[in-house]
Structure 1
Amino acid sequence: MKIKALVFLISISFMANAFAVTNETNNSPTMIKTDSLLRHVVLFKFKEGTTKSQIKEVEDAFSALPSKIEQIKGYEWGLNNSPEGLDKGFTHAFFLTFESEEDRAIYLPHPDHKAFGAVLTPHLDDVLVIDYWTNQ
């Protein structure tokens, strides 16, 4: 009976360790997984009255960033076409990929990113940014 209790306790201990997540793992500022990428999703809502040419200038300026900032490993963008009506006025989605949080940390204050902000800001009504590590 004592052996069964001991085996039971050891089994629970192994299971608890298998599912344990430490703060060190979750809060690591350099979290890099070989099968994971850091995604940076940016949504724009433009001010009422922003012209098509002004929006095109913003699109072109954002699209030029991957050729200016080597830390951007992937880039795509598009216009909202959801039929659900839940966009809250956001029309543009930009999707950047980084290999590490260090790469993103270089991108955010980069002079070319800041220059893009100067093009965008006069026309921007709202922005939403979400970053996440991919799960596969």
Structure 2
Amino acid sequence: MIRHILLAQVPTESEKAMLQSFDDLRAVVDRLPGATGLAFGPSRSPEALERGFTHGLCIDFVDHDALKLYADDAEHRAIGQRIVGCALGGVDGLVVVDLELH
């Protein structure tokens, strides 16, 4: 299983649009085989180690092929551009990691 994690630095004025963009990914996840478990929201960590990354999103994929299908999907890519537009500094305000879970 692959867990796709996105962390975003979101200015207050962009929060509503970012959360809507995250929610819009639900339709992509729902229609793509091998994609499950979309979850997103603002950080509420008591450790305060976010380093400016205020929001996160996770999606699980059954394997790398399912992740690639998602990465190449036109609707995902369009929503991704909206996410970049909401992040502080554009792509510099994002971190994406894909963890292979054991």
Query: Shorter chain as normaliser: what TM range?
Result: 0.7 to 0.9
Structure 2 residue identity aligned to 1:111:
A
| Paired residues of 1:71 and 1:106 also in contact (CA < 8 A) | no
CA RMSD in angstroms comes to 1.9
TM-score, normalised relative to structure 1:
0.62
| Paired residues of 2:14 and 2:86 also in contact (CA < 8 A) | no
Structure 2 alignment gaps of length 5 or more = none
Equivalent residue, structure 2, for 1:129: 96
Structure 1 alignment gaps of length 5 or more = 1-36
Written as runs of structure 1 = structure 2, the 5 A alignment for 1:59-78 is 59-78=22-41
Higher relative CO (Cα under 8 Å, sequence separation at least 6) belongs to: 2
When you count strand as a share of all residues, which structure comes out higher?
2
Equivalent residue, structure 1, for 2:6: 42
Residue 119 (str. 1) matches residue 82 (str. 2):
yes
Percent of pairs identical after alignment?
22
Looking at CA atoms only, which structure, 1 or 2, has the larger radius of gyration?
A: 1
| Greater than 6 Å deviation, 4+ residue runs | none
Distance between the aligned counterparts of 1:49 and 1:81, measured in 2? 15
Shift of 1:78: 2.6
Cα distance change of structure 1 residues 53 and 78 upon mapping to structure 2, 3 Å threshold: closer
TM-score, normalised relative to structure 2:
0.79
What count of residue pairs does the alignment treat as equivalent?
98
Equivalent residue, structure 2, for 1:82: 45
Distance between the aligned counterparts of 1:118 and 1:88, measured in 2? 23
